[in-house]
Structure 1
Amino acid sequence: MKKKNKTVFYVSLFVVIIVVLWALIFPTNFETKTNSTLNFLVEKFGWFYLTTINLFIFFCIWIASSKYGNIKLGPDDSKPKYSYISWFAMLFSAGMGIGLVFWGVAEPLNHFINPIGVEGGTEAAKSFAMTKSFMHWGLHPWANYSVLALSLAYMQFRMGKPSLISSIFIPLIGEERVKGKIGKSIDVLAIFATVTGVATSLGLGTLQINSGLNYLFNIPENTLTQLLIVVAVTAIFMLSTAKGLDKGMKVLSNTNVIIAGTLLVFCFIIGPTLNIFSNLGNGLLAYTKDLFVELNPFGKNEWYKDWTIFYWAWWISWAPFVGTFIARISRGRTIREFVIGVLLVPSLISFLWFSAFGTLGIDTGMDVAKEAIIKAETAFFVIMKYQSFGSLISMAAIVLLGTFFITSADSATFVLGMMSSNGDLNPSTRRKLTWGVIQSALALSLMVAGGLEMLQTASIIVAFPFAIVMVFAMVSMTKALKNERFSKEQ
Structure 2
Amino acid sequence: MRQEKKISTNKTDTPVFIVSGGLIILFVLLSLMDLDRVGNWITASFNVSAKYFGSYWQLLLLANLLIGLGLAVSKYGKVRLGNKAKPENSYYRWVAMILCTLMASGGVFWAASEPMYHFINNPPLFNDNSSSMAGVEPALAQSFMHWGFMAWSILGTLATIVLMYAHYHKGFPLKPRAMLYPLFGEKIFRKSIVGSIADIISIVAVAAGTMGPIGFLGMQLTYGLHSLFGVPNTLFTNIIVIAVLVVIAAISVATGVDRGIQFLSRMNVGLTVFLAIVMLIVGPTMFIINKFISAEGFHLQNLLTMSTYQGDQAWLGAWTVFFWGWFLGYGPMMAIFISRISRGRTIRELVLAVAVVAPLVSNFWFTVVGGSGIEAELSNPGVISDPLSNGGMPAAVMAIMDQMPLGLWLAIGFLIVTLVFVATTVDSISYTVAVTLTGNDRPKKWIRVFWVLLFGVLSTILLAIDPGSVTAIQNSIVVTAVPVSLLMLPTLWDAVKIARELGKEQHIGLSNGKPVNEEE
TM-score for the superposition, normalised by structure 1: 0.96
Aligned match of 1:453: 471
- Confirm or deny: 8 A CA contact 2:328 2:481 kept in the other structure: yes
Higher mean alpha-carbon deviation, 100-109 vs 16-25, is at 16-25
Contact 2:385–2:396, Cα closer than 8 Å, also in 1: no
Deviation readout 1:44-82 (Å, 9 max, x if unpaired): 33211111111111111111122321111122x521111
Structure 1 residue runs without a partner (length 5+):
none
Q: Secondary structure at the match of 2:180?
A: helix
How far apart are residue 110 of structure 1 and its match? 0.8
Amino acid in structure 2 at the alignment position of 1:385: D
Given that 2:79 and 2:503 are in contact with CA atoms closer than 8 Å, whether structure 1 keeps it comes out as: no
The verdict on how the C-alpha distance between 1:384 and 1:486 changes in structure 2, with shifts beyond 3 A counting, is: closer
- 1:110 pairs with 103, 114, 117, which one? 117
**Which of 201, 204, 208 matches 1:196?**
208
Q: Give the counterpart of 1:147 among 158, 167, 170.
A: 158
Q: For 1:248-397, list aligned pairs within 5 A.
A: 248-365=260-377, 366-374=381-389, 375-397=392-414
Secondary structure of residue in 2 paired with 1:364 = helix
| Residue equivalent to 1:36 | 44
Structure 1 CA distance for aligned equivalents of residues 435 and 275 of structure 2:
34
Q: CA deviation at 1:223?
A: 0.8
- Quote the offset at 1:240 in angstroms: 1.6
Identical-residue share of aligned pairs (%):
27
Residue 487 (structure 1) shift: 6.5
SS in 2 for 1:321: helix
Distance change (3 Å), C-alpha of 1:298 and 1:98: closer
Say which is worse superposed, 294-303 or 86-95, in terms of deviation. Answer: 294-303
Tell me, in whole angstroms, the C-alpha distance in 2 between the residues paired with 1:297 and 1:361: 27
Equivalent-residue separation in structure 2 for 1:283 and 1:297 (angstroms)? 18
Aligned to 2:93: 86
Alpha carbons of structure 1 residues 237 and 484: separation in structure 2 relative to 1, 3 Å: closer
Answer whether contact 2:177 2:188 (CA < 8 A) is retained.
Answer: no
Look up the SS of the partner of 2:382 in the other structure: helix
CA-based RMSD: 1.8
Gap runs ≥5 in structure 2: 1-7, 511-520
* CA distance in 1: counterparts of 2:327 and 2:175, whole angstroms: 19
Per mean C-alpha deviation after superposition, the further-off stretch among 157-166 and 379-388 is 157-166
Cα distance, 1:300–1:152 mapped onto 2, change above 3 Å: farther
CA contact (8 A) 1:169 1:178 kept: no
Q: Aligned partners of 2:283, 2:11: CA distance in 1, in Å?
A: 58
How far off is 1:244 after superposition? Answer: 1.3
- Measure the CA separation in 2 of the matches of 1:44 and 1:425: 36
Alpha-carbon distance in 2 for matches of 1:255, 1:98: 17
CA contact (8 A) 1:142 1:343 kept: yes
Say whether 1:119 aligns with 2:129: yes
Residue matched to 1:53: 61
TM-aligned CA deviation for residue 26 of structure 1: 2.0
Q: Give TM-score scaled by structure 2 length.
A: 0.90
The CA deviation string for residues 347-370 of structure 1, in whole angstroms up to 9 with x for no partner, is 111121111112210121221122
Q: Deviations over 1:133-166 (max 9, x none)?
A: 1111110111111232232123222322211111
Q: Which residue of 1 aligns with 2:243?
A: 231
**Separation of aligned partners in 2, 1:295 and 1:350:** 18
Residues 57 and 140 in structure 1, CA contact (< 8 A), matched pair in contact too = yes
Q: Separation in 2 of the partners of 1:24 and 1:18?
A: 10
Match of 1:15 in 2: 23
Distance 1:243 1:4 in 2: 20
Q: Distance in 1 between matches of 2:110 and 2:56?
A: 25
Distance 1:484 1:84, change over 3 A: closer
Residues 1:414 and 2:456 are matched in the alignment = no
> 1:227-253: CA deviations, max 9, x gaps?
111112211221122111222111111
User: Quick one: structure 1 residues 440 and 295, their matched pair in 2 at CA, closer, same or farther if it must change by over 3 Å?
Assistant: closer
How big is the shift at 1:98? 4.3
SS at match of 1:420: helix
For 2:424 and 2:308, the matched residues in 1 are separated by: 36
- Kept in 2, the 8 Å contact 1:372–1:383? The answer is no
Is the Cα–Cα contact under 8 Å of residues 103 and 362 in structure 2 kept in the other structure?
A: no
Alignment size in residue pairs: 488
The answer on whether the counterparts of 1:151 and 1:474 sit within 8 Å (CA) in structure 2 is no
Task: Work out the CA distance in 1 between the residues paired with 2:134 and 2:49.
Answer: 32
Contact 2:82 2:342 in 1 (8 A): no
In the alignment, what sits opposite 2:255? 243
